[in-house]
Structure 1
Amino acid sequence: MEKIGHIEIRITGSIGNIDLSPDNYDIREIREVLEYGESLLSPNNDKKDRPLITYQLEKGSVRHIFKTSIQYIIGFNAVLGQVAHDQSIDFLDLPTAKAFECFQDMARKKRYVFEINTSLENSNSVSIDQNTRFSRTTSVWADAEFYFYGKITNMGGKDKSNIHISTSDQGIVIVHTSKDYLEKLENNLLYKPYGIRAVGKQHTETGEIDKSSLKFIELIDYHPKYDEDYLNALRKKASHNWEKGFDADAWLRELRGGYDA
């Protein structure tokens, strides 16, 4: 049987003169912690290998318990140790960094104190309160322009309009798009190959794209196909170059650097 561990996010504070407890803890805050707690254990939760994660809310003041396979707990414990040592989240992948930023924002607005640790013996721990500064360094993220190619899988949205494009290298990419632009489209784009030009934020060191920041610029006609005539023309051109005095023996000697194989 697979061994299970957990991470605990304990929140202390008060609402007015009443100490925080599950009885006065708003469901919207539970939803936020649920969303970002999942990001701590599975930053790339669209992947097939996402672990099973279970949850329970307990007293004292409010304790969020996320249970999953011990191997993920061990990995997150190492992350906690590095965050505690550096007092920085710049090295984290984007979903994990955003989780810490969310907890920091809640700590400042509501004067809460977050204690994050694991079920491991001598677990690492990170404390977040109104005086800590767990947020990404602005200079690390820069404005950039991107091109995404793939098939359009979804368009629209009740509150926030966007286009979903399925790409081979980035998976599903969601690009914020104005409702006015979508209303004017005459053709049905769904499940057809297109390119999207967009702007957003990119990490200056790792190249990671902040997918939540992407904004639409233009749609690009994109019809990838196998062009046999074009490829044959390239082969013919290359063969002519080989015939024009090309010394294969000299080329091999150059590759070997004078070493006799």
Structure 2
Amino acid sequence: MTTHWVAALPMYNVTPTHGALWRAFLQDVVTLAFGEDAANHVSLLDEPFGDLYGLWRRGDLLLSQTCGYPLVHELGSHVDVVATPMFDAHGCEGARYRSVIVVCSNGGAHAIDTLADCRGMRAAYNSEDSNSGMNALRHAVAPHARNGRFFASTVRTGSHLRSLGTIAEGGADVAAIDCVTFAYVQDDLPDLAKHVRVIGVTASAPGLPLIASRALGPERLSRVRDALDVALSADPERARRLRVTGFARLTRHDYAEIETLERDAIARGYATLA
């Protein structure tokens, strides 16, 4: 049985401030779950986290966060779903979230009012394994595609923040941005947010799950779940800044919706964002 664990929350560190808030929250969760001796039982990993799949598959993973797309495709046999954060952000409903579809806010983009108007434009997306940046956008575009194509070109940026920057700098015209990330950008990076305009939203899906190694076991898993709730209520200002309102207890089965979005796009002949 593993006696030392690792923990890291890599998904919503949009700015250094958000990263520090999430790390402080994680430290509180670990302390609550293991007591004052927590440092002898758990190591908090530092950014950059490197290979996220390597992190998520670790047998000594106490707590991390992934996207629903890797969960249903790669991680199901390695992890348990601990909880799903609920956010106070436009596009979130309980433990569900959407992506906002954004275009450049100046110049000719003012003629763009719907996703259908984006035919022949350049799309930015964060990664091929992102539900919010790729899969949800692919699902939204699929009804408008012709012969498997809709955009003139696509560019992989590596993050939602870089996708927004790429649009702001003129390197792309449209992107789908996780609505929680977009809310954080509006809060802390208003100069970046003003460069884009929301023209729509994608289908909703279960939010980004908190996960743990299956080696954690039910007793420790229960302790971590309880610690999440206590740590959230212990610092209301931190919860407000992070826009977290609570944690839902979803299961791996709830995330099958993400595969349905993928299958629907493929059934329409739109297997790849193009």
* TM-score between both structures, scaled by the size of structure 2: 0.25
The higher-RCO structure (CA 8 Å, 6+ apart) is: 2
* TM-score between both structures, scaled by the size of structure 1: 0.26
Higher strand proportion: 1
Larger radius of gyration: 1
